[in-house]
Structure 1
Amino acid sequence: MSVLTAATVAFAALVTAPAAQAQVATDAAPPEFTDAREEQRFHALVAELRCVMCQNQSLADSNAQIAVDLRREVLALMREGKDDAQIKDFLVARYGEFVLYRPQVESKTWLLWFGPALLLVIGGIVITTLVRRRAPAAHAAAPDDDQEW
Structure 2
Amino acid sequence: MMKKLLLIIIACLFLTPALAVEPDEVLADPAMEARARDLSTEVRCMVCQNQSIEDSDAPLAKDLRILVRERIVAGDTNDEVLTFLVARYGEFVLLKPRFTLANAFLWIAPIGVLLIGGFIAFFAFRSRRGQNPVEKPLTAAEHEALKKILSPDS
Q: Given the two structures, how large is their TM-score scaled by the length of structure 2? A: 0.67
Partner residue in 1 for 2:89: 95
- When Rg is computed on C-alpha atoms for both structures, the one with the higher figure is 2
| Equivalent residue letter for 1:75 | R
Q: What is the correspondence of 1:58-77 to structure 2 with a 5 Å cutoff?
A: 58-77=52-71
How large is the RMSD of aligned CA atoms in angstroms? 2.0
> What is the DSSP-based 3-state SS (H/G/I as helix, E as strand, rest coil) of the residue aligned with 1:85?
helix
Give distance in 2, aligned partners of 1:102 and 1:94: 17
Report Cα offsets for 1:51-92 as digits up to 9, x if no partner: 122221111122211001100110111000001111111111
Deviation at residue 27 of structure 1 after TM alignment:
5.6
Give distance in 2, aligned partners of 1:142 and 1:39: 76
> What is the DSSP-based 3-state SS (H/G/I as helix, E as strand, rest coil) of the residue aligned with 2:102?
helix
| Equivalent residue letter for 2:34 | Q
| Equivalent residue letter for 1:68 | K
Unaligned runs of 5+ in 1: 1-25, 145-149
Deviation at residue 39 of structure 1 after TM alignment:
2.4
Give distance in 1, aligned partners of 2:117 and 2:37: 40
After superposition, the Cα gap between the structure-2 partners of 1:28 and 1:101, relative to the gap in structure 1 and judged at 3 Å, is closer
Give distance in 2, aligned partners of 1:28 and 1:47: 15
Give distance in 2, aligned partners of 1:107 and 1:94: 19
Report Cα offsets for 1:96-142 as digits up to 9, x if no partner: 110112222222111122122112211211221221122222x2x13
Give distance in 1, aligned partners of 2:31 and 2:41: 15
> What is the DSSP-based 3-state SS (H/G/I as helix, E as strand, rest coil) of the residue aligned with 2:41?
helix
Q: What is the correspondence of 1:4-83 to structure 2 with a 5 Å cutoff?
A: 29-83=23-77
Deviation at residue 30 of structure 1 after TM alignment:
4.4
Partner residue in 2 for 1:85: 79
Give distance in 2, aligned partners of 1:116 and 1:41: 34
Partner residue in 1 for 2:107: 113
| Equivalent residue letter for 1:42 | A
Between the two proteins, the alignment pairs up a number of residues equal to: 117
Give distance in 2, aligned partners of 1:34 and 1:122: 55
After superposition, the Cα gap between the structure-2 partners of 1:71 and 1:34, relative to the gap in structure 1 and judged at 3 Å, is same
